[in-house]
Chains A and B, each alone.
Chain A
Amino acid sequence: MKSRERVIQALKHVEPDRVPIDLGGTWVSGIHAKAYYELRRYLSLPEKLPTIIDVGQQLADIDRDILELFHIDVIDINRVLEPRAPYPRKYRFVGIDSSLKEVSEYEFWTWRTPYGIDVEMPKYVEVVEREDSFIGYAEGKPFGKMPKTGYYFWGLKHALADVKTIEDVKKFDWDVGKVSDDVIEVLKKKAEYLYKYTDYALVNPFMGSPVALGAFRGLHAGGQTLRGWDKWFGDLKFRKPLAEAILDHIFEVMFYNIKKIIDAIGDYIQVQVVGYDDMGVETGPQISVEVFREFYKDRYAEVIGYVKKYSKAFTFLHSDGSIFPLIKEFIDIGLDIINPVQISAKGMEPEKLKKTYGE
């Protein structure tokens, strides 16, 4: 059985010949560059620098030898190592030295990381060393900070932390989150190429917004990214009109992007990510089912509904933590895949999940 068929079977709840395997197919099933480097060494594979595919989390792209060795069935259509589509995205931006840069997604520079190895960083990323940290820039805009003892870049600030009124919310430049037509054009070529010339199951983990923006990766996480993790809970409770206004904007961008993406590549991909939206912590859901229904359910129903209506792609949502009661809500609106299913969290015992939701 070919990889693509195997994954589709499993997602249709038909038992395939074996369990499908994913490593690096999404930004939430990847491997950190340091771990990847050690893995290659452990396996005595040819030594090479890890190539960064996710700059914030410092995830390494998976080389062909590991794809084959581990019998991996799933790839990200945006992968930068072979097998890859010969259509790199082009970046044109003003760099931190104020010069105009034009680079391809498949061009890299070697960065000596603070975590002990050198990595191949994409050229649209620049890094500035400070006394206590490194500041990362993507397309000339700061996106994160890595402590000198760190392994990852962390988000810098909450763009809407100080807004008071709906008018303030409107003033924010929401359109920066919307995907441009030339990005969609490249995405389409990549998906079409990999669909034709590989047997892998294809995932698109890209939701359309630039690297520097975490605000459009999910409704709940988006609110928290813009307002601050704890302030957002206060918004959902005490400042509902403000929360609704922010969610309307996040949703508008998310829906715009998903529509563009699905219209372009819906025929080629098997899985589309519709949210990176942590809704649980170790001990329980962050919010009640009632809050989920009040603010998020209908909006997610529209996003997921669009993907299902206009393509055969399965929908994928990431949420860490204990989210047992929310899983039913997502099933109601047609979600196919929950990642990662954190069975170490309270109330997420596999037996219980299988008994309640399995078939």
Chain B
Amino acid sequence: MLSEIKNSLINLDIDKTLELVKKAIDQGFKPLDIINTMAEGMKVIGDMFERGEYFISDLIVASEIFKEVMKILEPLIMKEKEVMKPIGRVVIGTIEGDIHDIGKNLVATMLRVNGFEVIDLGVDVSPQKFVEAVKQYNPDIVGMSALLTSTMMNMRKVIETLEKEGLRDKVKVIIGGAPITEEFAKRIGADAYGENAIVAVDICKRLVEELKGKK
């Protein structure tokens, strides 16, 4: 049953996936097991995207199916008081001056799908707002996105502000977006660059591990 759910997700068949999930619940499968199955399916879809077999439209369609499934499962999880401990907490936002949120939203969704708790600050987020969020939520990771060469320079300001406030060592910083490169990330003192949403998730997992090691 669970492998059928996984396959129908991989085939991007929303109707069949929802039908199978409902059936699985009726048959007594645990919501958390279903979520794990879905996450495995998303991983396969991510790999297919990486290999160029799936397109960004497929990635977004898959996350839409995932969200629909979560609408069914979330109330059950609440009822059963099953607790899924997030593997890490991420504060994410599009940088000041930039209101592009497609990439940022996709990364946020993929992180959630993979078990992260995500606090999305939205778009045009100032360095102050990032710093306040770090103080308030105590995240493991800060994620910043930019689409424009003119706004990506503002990422450095966020890192500098974190340093000034003595918060830089408490979090890992990952950045991404069309104009960003590995070299740029290094230059402004970020910990990592996520080339796309799939890579970003793997890196965030690694960064959380590194933080744990440090603590």
Interface residues of chain A, those whose CB is within 8 Å of chain B, are: 132, 145, 147, 149-151, 154, 229-230, 233-234, 236-238, 281-288, 291
Contacts and interface: CB of A to CB of B under 8 A. Distances in A.
Most B CB within 10 A of own CB, among A151, A238, A287, A291? A238
A286 B55 contact: yes
B211 interface: no
A317 B27 CA distance: 53
Instruction: Categorize the interface residue count of chain B.
Output: 20 to 34
A234 B64 contact: yes
Contacts of B98: 147, 150
Contacts of A287: 55, 57
B52 A284 contact: yes
Given A147-B96, A230-B102, A230-B105, A238 B64 contact: yes
Contacts of B96: 147, 149
Contacts of A149: 96-97, 124, 151, 154
Interface of B: 12, 14, 52, 55-57, 60-61, 64, 96-99, 102, 105-106, 124, 148, 150-151, 154, 178, 195-196
B150 A151 contact: yes
A283 B176 CA distance: 13
A238 B14 contact: yes
Contact of B124 (A147, A233, A236, A283): A147
A236 B195 CA distance: 26
A282 B148 CA distance: 13
B97 A233 contact: no
Contact of B57 (A132, A150, A154, A237): A237
A150 B123 CA distance: 12
Given A132-B124, A230-B60, A237 B97 contact: no
Given A229-B102, A237-B14, 19 more contacts: A132-B124, A147-B96, A147-B98, A147-B124, A149-B124, A149-B151, A151-B148, A154-B99, A230-B102, A233-B60, A233-B61, A234-B60, A234-B61, A237-B61, A281-B178, A282-B178, A284-B55, A286-B57, A288-B57
A229 B195 CA distance: 20
B132 to A, nearest CB: 16
B51 to A, nearest CB: 11
Interface-centre pick from A145, A147, A236, A285 (highest chain B CB count, 10 A): A147
8 contacts: A149-B96, A151-B148, A154-B99, A230-B60, A230-B64, A233-B64, A236-B57, A287-B57
A286 B102 CA distance: 12
A145 B97 CA distance: 11
B124 to A, nearest CB: 5
B120 to A, nearest CB: 14
Nearest to A133: B124
Given A229-B102, A234-B61, A238-B64, A147 B97 contact: yes
